[in-house]
């Protein structure tokens, strides 16, 4: 799209061939002796110790899962435990050279990575910083537990803290790192640079890219490592994440110090298996996963296969790749080959692999070989090694006893404090800017051409005689969204926005016209057509502390970002025990005219998922006020827009849309027209259908209608709706969503329950048909029309004198449609 990049047909049509550089495979070959110049004895032993801590930790969990006890103490852990026995060198090698500021993201099999990165951070942090972290985390709750009766060093205490916090989290204790709300597959601890692990395979594939984007855009030190499995290379979010991470624009279009690649390492923890499928030879075609780098960008992602059975090989790779990243030549792809002795989970009988294979790998056991090498290399003795082993066993066994003690490590008491999880679903903060600082902009707001154009518009749709101004002159709904967004761009330096056509074009619906002039690439850019990655990267970006507005264009594309919207965006605040904030405003546009895959209102789908706030403004005044609130908050908000009404003027707020900043609280419906006989509650653009219906009712049947615009779906305050129903006794609910499973039904049920004695008729829901959306020319038979509303009122609530029905709203028809599933 950028005009500065000329696509020259002469050049592009020339014959030639594409050449690839060789991809190194297991090239590391140094001996202990050769490495002595790089490692002290303490370093060598520390690597051994770290691997042992992981081995013992995982062995303990394995014993609990398979035998019900560890060190003769019985315990039942019904939850998951995806173990990484055998992968210790890969984890410790990955973490060894990472700084505290470097973030790791993981998978369902990441206990080892948490411990490795934690131990690495403990080694690098000074005592005071460690003390501060432990004292401040949950007000020192965990520290108090692990400090009781312990007199060792701060670092030793920190190791207790790390093992205990992780284990208590796995055992769902409220004293775990995430209050027991994350569990085995999600545990993390950000002060040590351990970011969320993800129980959805490949889930970190795009979230980690967003974290790297955060570091880059906000000039933060450190890199991001995505530890994902070999099998996740088949997952959409991973491909989308890689595509996003390797966009040319980082090096071609981003300017100044922003020019250059993302500080990201995609670290494939290649243990050869995905569930029961073998990626090498069965379920994938890459043979060696590092091959993937060659297909992605010119640098081939600096891809390499590393022997993950040797910690020193992994450490060496990381040292080299960190250098590449510091030269802004990221991202990097590492294929760290390893092997898991344990099954996918303890319930897996490993029926898909042979005993010979497992035994062969055990002979290559990373810990055993490393130990032998150290002793043979003269760096340690059997005795010294045994002592380290004893020490790790003691640590694990002591922390195990603490973590299973119900008095010391209680679970959340949902009887005494029934609201405790509910309180964590949203952070509900009001924050002008996620970080202090001067926002990076290219011009003053007053110089912006869009700003100047809007200044000439009429902020109320009608003149003093009640005549509407021309569409061009009216301040439109898209202007309301724009004003709120550009205002925030000048307030919050962390705010960025992206989507498939956000820059230059200004969005397919012209909401962002004027933003390109105002903002550098690093704050507004075009993304690949990867709705999964658009939302997934936004999650990673917000998780690290930034505010972001991803846009996926059509609502119908929500399915493409299904996992991100349903499993990731809504969950991380609560799953972190509310440590993480998620200030993401996801713009979603409900279409029309474009048929079955471009015209669906899926508000009900997102409203169903706990953890998302959902709004759907229908007027310029509400659009601006709700966007301001969404951007001021710290929660994920799915912000729906309707393509029918981007050009609608403000018809209700007589003072016109204020030029200055104002907020409309999320969750408050608004009475758009007062009336006495019947209430219509609308969601989104159906407001205008309701208005037309009300005009017919008034004119033909002298019925006065009260119209309430829901504005928000989640949260939703029923007060004014109930008040209205108590007055009118009747309510009809309308939106463009297909009627079956529509959120309107949820509202109708609540209203029925809460105002039953006041109802003169059952609440009636008028939605779209349960069909595919037909062509534009047939839409009037699909989407609710004013006449439908009148017919439904006549048939189901209040027979109207001499009314002739056109659309069948009888009970018989309702039952018939239900029987037929349409």
Partner 1 sequence: MATSIIMPRQGQSVESCIITKLYISEGEKVSKGDLIFSYETDKASFEEESEIDGVLLKWLYDEGDEVPVLETVCIVGEEGEEVKEMIVASDNKEVEPKPEAVESKKSALKAEIVNSIPEGTRISPRARRMAEDNRIEITKIAGTGPSGRIIVRDVEVVLTGGDDRHTEASYSVEPLTNIRKIIARSMYSSLQNSAQVTHHLGADARRMLSLRKEIKEKKDQPGYVNVTINDMVCFAVIKALQKFPRVNSHLVGEEMHLFNIVNLGLAVDTDRGLMVPAITEVDKLSIQQFSEKAGKISGECRKGSVDPDILAPESASFTVSNLGNYGVEMFTPVINLPQVAILGVNTILLRPADTGDGVIGFVPYIGLSITYDHRAIDGGEATRFLKQVAIEIETLEI
Residues designated catalytic: 598
Among 756, 778, 808, 816, binds partner 1 (CB under 8 A): 756
Residue 807 binding partner 1, by CB under 8 A: no
Residue 771 binding partner 1, by CB under 8 A: no
At 178 the three-state DSSP class reads: coil
Among 798, 807, 814, 817, binds partner 1 (CB under 8 A): 798
What is the nearest approach in angstroms of partner 1 to the Cβ of residue 738?
A: 24
Any residues with CB less than 8 A from the CB of 172 and at least 6 apart, and which? 79, 180, 183, 411
Nearer Cβ to partner 1, position 556 or 706? Answer: 706
Among 758, 769, 779, 787, binds partner 1 (CB under 8 A): 758
Rounded Cα distance between 190 and 544, Å, is 9
Nearest to 518 by CA among 501, 532, 506: 506
DSSP code of 377? Answer: T
What is the nearest approach in angstroms of partner 1 to the Cβ of residue 749?
A: 15
Residue 799 binding partner 1, by CB under 8 A: yes
Any residues with CB less than 8 A from the CB of 168 and at least 6 apart, and which? 142, 175, 176, 177, 180, 402, 403, 409
Nearer Cβ to partner 1, position 279 or 679? Answer: 679
> What's the distance, CA 101 to chain centroid?
21
Alpha helices in 26-87 (DSSP H): 32-35, 41-67
Q: Which long-range contacts (CB under 8 A, 24 or more apart) does 643-646 make?
A: 643/509, 643/589, 643/590, 643/591, 643/592, 643/593, 644/592, 644/685, 644/688, 645/477, 645/618, 645/685, 645/688, 646/476, 646/477, 646/478, 646/509, 646/510, 646/511
Contact region with partner 1 (CB under 8 A), list: 333-341, 407-415, 466-474, 751-759: 751-759
What is the nearest approach in angstroms of partner 1 to the Cβ of residue 758?
A: 5
Q: Which long-range contacts (CB under 8 A, 24 or more apart) does 58-64 make?
A: 58/83, 58/84, 58/85, 58/111, 58/112, 58/342, 59/85, 60/396, 60/397, 60/400, 61/111, 61/170, 62/342, 62/346
Rounded Cα distance between 437 and 494, Å, is 9
Residue 722 binding partner 1, by CB under 8 A: no
What is the nearest approach in angstroms of partner 1 to the Cβ of residue 784?
A: 20
At 309 the three-state DSSP class reads: coil
Nearer Cβ to partner 1, position 447 or 760? Answer: 760
**Tokens standing for 554?**
């059509």
Among 362, 376, 432, 760, binds partner 1 (CB under 8 A): 760
What does each C-alpha distance from 445 to 458, 488, 507 come to in angstroms?
19, 11, 19
**Tokens standing for 545?**
């502390």
**Tokens standing for 243?**
């595509």
Q: Which helix (H) or strand (E) holds 16?
A: none
Token pair 């016209």 in the structure block, residue = 513
Nearer Cβ to partner 1, position 811 or 820? Answer: 811
Q: Give helix 743-754 / helix 719-728 axis angle, nearest 10°.
A: 60
Residue 272 binding partner 1, by CB under 8 A: no
Residue 802 binding partner 1, by CB under 8 A: no
Buried b (16+ CB within 10 A) or exposed e, 386-409: eebbeebbebbebbbebbbeeebb
Residue 721 binding partner 1, by CB under 8 A: no
Q: Where are the beta strands (DSSP E) in 693-779?
A: 705-709, 712-714, 731-738, 764-768
What is the nearest approach in angstroms of partner 1 to the Cβ of residue 762?
A: 8
Q: From residue 290 to residue 309, what is the string marking binding to partner 1 with x (rule CB under 8 A)?
A: --------------------
Nearest to 601 by CA among 569, 645, 633, 563: 645
Residue 753 binding partner 1, by CB under 8 A: no
Angle 138-144-149 from CA coordinates, rounded to 5°: 165
Rounded Cα distance between 603 and 638, Å, is 9
Angular region, 268: left φ>0, alpha ψ -120 to 50, beta rest = beta
Nearer Cβ to partner 1, position 127 or 813? Answer: 813
Contact region with partner 1 (CB under 8 A), list: 197-205, 209-217, 304-312, 753-761: 753-761
Contact region with partner 1 (CB under 8 A), list: 246-254, 473-481, 767-775, 793-801: 793-801
Are the C-beta atoms of 495 and 440 separated by less than 8 Å? Answer: no
Among 45, 412, 759, 805, binds partner 1 (CB under 8 A): 759
Residue 421 binding partner 1, by CB under 8 A: no
Contact region with partner 1 (CB under 8 A), list: 108-116, 418-426, 614-622, 794-802: 794-802
What is the nearest approach in angstroms of partner 1 to the Cβ of residue 759?
A: 5
What is the nearest approach in angstroms of partner 1 to the Cβ of residue 760?
A: 4
What is the nearest approach in angstroms of partner 1 to the Cβ of residue 796?
A: 6
Residue 678 binding partner 1, by CB under 8 A: no
Radius of gyration, alpha carbons of the chain: 30
Residue 594 binding partner 1, by CB under 8 A: no
Residue 757 binding partner 1, by CB under 8 A: yes
What is the nearest approach in angstroms of partner 1 to the Cβ of residue 809?
A: 10
What is the nearest approach in angstroms of partner 1 to the Cβ of residue 208?
A: 55
Among 81, 615, 680, 797, binds partner 1 (CB under 8 A): 797
Nearer Cβ to partner 1, position 773 or 795? Answer: 795
Contact region with partner 1 (CB under 8 A), list: 34-42, 188-196, 481-489, 759-767: 759-767
Residue 796 binding partner 1, by CB under 8 A: yes
What is the nearest approach in angstroms of partner 1 to the Cβ of residue 681?
A: 18
Residue 729 binding partner 1, by CB under 8 A: yes
Residue 761 binding partner 1, by CB under 8 A: yes
Contact region with partner 1 (CB under 8 A), list: 55-63, 401-409, 731-739, 791-799: 791-799
Residue 776 binding partner 1, by CB under 8 A: no
What does each C-alpha distance from 615 to 129, 683, 711 come to in angstroms?
42, 9, 6
Residue 548 binding partner 1, by CB under 8 A: no
Residue 795 binding partner 1, by CB under 8 A: yes
What are the residues binding partner 1 (CB under 8 A)? 729, 756-761, 795-799, 811
């Amino acid at each position: 799209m950028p005009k500065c990049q000329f696509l020259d047909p002469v050049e592009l049509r020339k014959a030639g061939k594409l050449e690839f550089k060789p991809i190194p495979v297991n090239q590391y070959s140094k001996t202990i002796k050769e490495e002595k110049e790089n490692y002290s004895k303490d370093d060598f032993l520390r690597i051994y110790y770290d691997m042992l801590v992981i081995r013992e930790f995982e062995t303990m969990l394995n014993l609990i899962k398979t035998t019900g006890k560890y060190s003769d103490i019985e315990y039942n852990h019904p939850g998951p435990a995806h173990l990484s026995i055998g992968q210790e060198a890969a984890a410790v090698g990955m973490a060894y050279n990472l700084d505290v500021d470097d973030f790791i993201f993981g998978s369902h099999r990441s206990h080892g990575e948490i411990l490795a990165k934690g131990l690495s951070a403990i080694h690098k942090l000074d005592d005071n910083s460690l003390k501060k972290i432990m004292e401040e985390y949950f007000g020192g709750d965990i520290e108090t537990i692990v400090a009781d009766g312990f007199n060792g060093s701060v670092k030793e205490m920190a190791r207790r803290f790390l093992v205990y916090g992780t284990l208590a989290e796995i055992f769902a204790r409220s004293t775990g790192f995430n209050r027991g709300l994350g569990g085995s597959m999600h545990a993390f601890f950000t002060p040590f640079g351990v970011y969320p692990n993800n129980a959805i395979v490949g889930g970190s594939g795009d979230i980690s890219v967003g974290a790297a984007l955060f570091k880059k855009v906000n000039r933060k030190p450190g890199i991001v490592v995505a530890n994902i499995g070999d099998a996740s290379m088949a997952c959409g979010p991973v491909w989308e994440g890689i595509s996003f991470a390797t966009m040319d624009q980082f090096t071609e279009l981003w300017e100044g110090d922003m020019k250059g690649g993302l500080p990201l390492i995609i670290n494939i923890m290649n243990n050869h298996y995905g569930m029961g499928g073998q990626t090498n030879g069965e379920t994938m075609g890459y043979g060696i996963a590092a091959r993937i780098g060659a297909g992605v960008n010119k640098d081939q992602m600096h891809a390499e296969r590393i022997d993950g059975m040797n910690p020193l090989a992994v450490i060496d790779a990381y040292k080299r790749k960190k250098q590449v990243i510091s030269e802004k030549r990221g991202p990097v792809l590492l294929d760290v080959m390893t092997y898991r002795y344990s099954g996918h989970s303890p319930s897996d009988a490993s029926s898909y692999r042979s005993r010979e294979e497992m035994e062969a790998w055990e002979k290559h056991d990373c810990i055993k070989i490393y130990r032998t090498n150290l002793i043979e290399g003269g760096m340690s003795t059997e005795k010294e090694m045994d002592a380290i082993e004893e020490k790790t066993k003691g640590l694990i066994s002591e922390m195990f006893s603490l973590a299973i003690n119900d008095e010391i490590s209680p679970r959340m008491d949902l009887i005494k404090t029934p609201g405790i999880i509910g309180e964590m679903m949203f952070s509900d903060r009001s924050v002008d800017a996620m970080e202090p600082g001067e926002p990076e902009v290219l011009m003053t707001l007053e110089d912006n051409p869009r700003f100047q154009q809007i200044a000439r518009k009429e902020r109320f749709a009608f003149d003093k005689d009640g005549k509407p101004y021309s569409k061009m002159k009216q301040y439109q709904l898209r202007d309301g969204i724009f004003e709120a967004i550009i205002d925030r761009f000048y307030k919050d330096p962390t705010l960025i926005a992206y989507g498939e056509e956000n820059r230059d074009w200004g969005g397919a619906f012209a909401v962002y016209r004027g933003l390109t002039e105002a903002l550098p690439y690093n704050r507004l850019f075009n993304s690949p057509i990867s709705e999964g990655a658009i939302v997934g990267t936004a999650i990673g970006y917000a998780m690290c502390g930034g505010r972001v507005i991803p846009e996926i264009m059509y609502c119908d594309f929500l399915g493409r970002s299904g996992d991100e919207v349903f499993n990731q965006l809504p969950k991380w605040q609560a799953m972190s025990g509310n440590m993480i904030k998620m200030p993401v405003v996801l713009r979603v546009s409900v279409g029309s005219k474009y048929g079955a895959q471009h015209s669906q209102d899926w508000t009900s789908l997102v409203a169903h998922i706990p953890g998302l706030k959902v709004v759907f403004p229908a007027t310029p005044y509400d659009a601006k006020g709700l966007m301001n609130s969404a951007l001021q908050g710290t929660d994920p908000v799915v912000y729906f827009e309707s393509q029918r009404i981007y050009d609608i003027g403000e018809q209700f707020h007589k003072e016109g849309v204020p030029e200055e900043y104002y907020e409309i609280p999320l969750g408050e419906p608004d009475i758009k027209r007062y009336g006495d006989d019947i209430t219509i509650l609308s969601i989104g653009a159906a407001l205008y259908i309701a208005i037309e219906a009300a005009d017919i009712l008034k004119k033909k049947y002298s019925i006065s209608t009260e119209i309430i615009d829901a504005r928000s779906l989640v949260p939703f305050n029923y007060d004014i709706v109930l008040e209205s129903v108590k007055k009118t006794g009747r309510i009809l609910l309308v939106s463009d969503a297909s009627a079956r499973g529509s959120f309107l039904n949820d509202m109708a049920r609540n209203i029925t329950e809460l105002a039953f004695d006041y109802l003169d008729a059952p609440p009636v829901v008028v939605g779209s048909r349960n069909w595919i959306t037909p062509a534009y020319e047939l839409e009037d038979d699909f989407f609710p029309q004013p006449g439908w509303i009148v017919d439904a009122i006549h048939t189901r609530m209040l027979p109207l004198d001499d009314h002739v029905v056109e659309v069948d709203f009888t009970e018989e028809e309702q039952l018939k449609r239900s029987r037929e599933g349409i």
